[in-house]
Structure 1
């Protein structure tokens, strides 16, 4: 099953035409196209109509997806549009289906130069991969070995018509500036630069595969489940520590911070005093230290917690939803009609009298003894009856409440972020 990303420009028009010719020869090939309408250009509706016309002529099914581009993301219009476009592609791709894009050799050259100018490492210089996992299927770029002149010749030979996006001439955009003003001058001096840069991209991608394999090997000894064990991490040299952290972030699908943040942040996480709980934060992720481990988190639970009322009245018979971080509280097989039940979150000074304990214990000490991470302590639901603390999530019950629940009844705290 093949799905072509169709913009209507030269590259994707040639790709769709070529694949349609192949699909006619092989009955087992299922071919379709998808066009993303970004709504950013006054001609966007016309481009969609021309894609429909092309697919009608080629007898290829076309799906049009309209997307909302977040222009306030701080990424720039081009990057925000690309993110929205690929999110649309991922959402519609079937299991095992190939998404085929029309990137060619000149796109590879531009991408390598842009990333080099931005200080990319070997992963970035690997640039555009020929094939990679994508959503439920694969992302494939079959034209990477071909140049634009070859695509233009193919289009002329088959009398193909395509869309010329006027924004491709805007040299205020970095990629267009390279394409129109910089790269032609470089080619005059180094005619073989496209092949050389393509080779650099392939070698960088190969080096990245080796770094990935090394990090996977280090993870076997350094990772403590989902946590990074500090003692074992310290046994690696600095470059392998940074490589492992980048690997863990990739495995969690978290965009990494800058190289400067990784270096400085790791130094702080590894060298801070034992009584400190340092944090490396960046947009979209964070790494926290607690005791002997590093915790890699997608987002900041302190910022994501749903702001709600200080006190939530509850009858105890229906599950109580508390948000994505704080989860859901349920009392199973609750007998009777308890009155005065309410749920709160930590304010400080709470105490609980557990079964088998003669005295009330401070909740802060209980959290510390159980190893509940500091950033989750404010999100553990506290069940009160009037002013008496009955339960702390499902971690602890008061002696009286355990008796009151009766045989077979229990409290459950589910769907929350990991408190340990």
Structure 2
């Protein structure tokens, strides 16, 4: 009987406890995404009880989107709820604006998840439940989504592909009605979002007009749809594993080889591209767009300078390699940055920082460096450089070409100058005139671009 209880918990508290014990340790910090609605209020109440039992750290976050006229009241409500339970809460006040071709609901979600990325936590805990899952799966089906879309929401996933924060949904197997019963049983208070009754939103239309009819004919539709999404989730995982196998054959150091892509079947190549795009959290292109991207890549020659953009992703080709990366703002320096000896020098407009460490016999001789003002600039053209004392001073343009640095990166490198003399080029080295000699204490500089999620 003990094993049966483990497989099928009897109460909502047992459901949540089982999920948490499978993923959370006593040292973890869990942050509840608290909207003030009944679902998140119940989740907060459950986690508050379990935090004392499991000894994890608990706090909350509320994002005020500025869409509803009652937004400020909801923020106050969330603050009071947390204060009553002794739970710390962070409140973020935004002003979400509708953008072309993006619904207000989607824009609010993007803004909310952007806030989540800046929170210190091991887990952001979301109150999505079984009915939300069914709505998501049906909406994806009506949009013509593939296997990954029809898999719905996972119980746990990383917030970003390269980050440590995970999203956790411990209520995914719990129905909305069960949550309401719990809230009434424990005399909880919550707020109602007036937009939830607006059936011009697709999700609300399904909730209020379609699902009541569906339940009359198929009372167990929640469980069966959830089970179908679970099976599709397994299939999606297998596709990701296949993409991992293909990436090992077709990629080197994060770059995709066009020749490697050509070795795959058209469908496996599409699957690999979808997988790579998902690593950047991109909204997947539709089938026609994806196939057009693939056709352009497959037809690219070694000297092709291909540049494709969709969502927040850019795709570039250089010497038979494909670089997929987050779209970056154009780097610019309106006036040279003056270096005053910082060991960690953040250059926000260039999207990265320069780190400096002292090391004997290598790097830059600081005594020679500071004879004139030390600045960072971008390439202007005509710079000359001599990283090898045995070779003559040459054009920086030629040196960067020989180093096989992609053209789009050559104009974004932070170049260190002493007066008008070029001293250091990231990835290339230090000019002969400024190099530290054996026995001298030198400065080793490293350019660290921001990692894009």
**With structure 2 as the length reference, what TM-score do the two structures score?**
0.74
Match of residue 134 from structure 2: 109
Match of residue 144 from structure 2: 119
The structure with more radius of gyration: 1
**How many angstroms does 1:52 deviate by?**
4.4
CA distance in 2, matches of 1:221, 1:11: 45
Indicate how the Cα distance of structure 1 residues 89 and 411 shifts in structure 2: closer, same or farther if over 3 A, else same: closer
**Aligned partners of 1:316 and 1:338 also within 8 Å:** no
Larger RCO (alpha carbons 8 Å, 6+ apart) = 2
Indicate how the Cα distance of structure 1 residues 7 and 228 shifts in structure 2: closer, same or farther if over 3 A, else same: same
242-251 or 322-331, larger mean C-alpha shift: 322-331
**How many angstroms does 1:337 deviate by?**
6.7
Indicate how the Cα distance of structure 1 residues 54 and 352 shifts in structure 2: closer, same or farther if over 3 A, else same: closer
Q: Work out the number of aligned pairs and report it.
A: 406
CA distance in 1, matches of 2:376, 2:49: 65
Match of residue 8 from structure 1: 36
* Aligned pairs for 1:3-402 within 5 A: 3-22=31-50, 26=53, 28=55, 31-55=58-82, 59-71=85-97, 73-74=99-100, 75-95=102-122, 98-134=123-159, 136-300=164-328, 303-309=329-335, 312=336, 323-325=349-351, 328=354, 331-335=364-368, 345-348=378-381, 355-357=389-391, 361-380=394-413, 395=428, 402=432
CA distance in 2, matches of 1:16, 1:336: 57
**Aligned partners of 2:31 and 2:61 also within 8 Å:** yes
Q: Which structure 1 segments of 5+ residues have no match?
A: none
The residue matched to 1:304 in structure 2 has which SS? coil
**How many angstroms does 1:60 deviate by?**
4.6
Indicate how the Cα distance of structure 1 residues 393 and 217 shifts in structure 2: closer, same or farther if over 3 A, else same: closer
**Aligned partners of 1:334 and 1:409 also within 8 Å:** no
CA distance in 1, matches of 2:213, 2:75: 35
The residue matched to 2:112 in structure 1 has which SS? helix
Indicate how the Cα distance of structure 1 residues 166 and 245 shifts in structure 2: closer, same or farther if over 3 A, else same: same
CA RMSD of aligned residues (A): 3.8
Question: Over residues 283-321 of structure 1, what are the superposed CA-to-partner deviations in whole Å (9 max), with x where a residue is unaligned?
Answer: 322121111311122224xx4212424xx4979988997
Question: Over residues 203-223 of structure 1, what are the superposed CA-to-partner deviations in whole Å (9 max), with x where a residue is unaligned?
Answer: 111111111111122222222
**Aligned partners of 1:324 and 1:416 also within 8 Å:** no
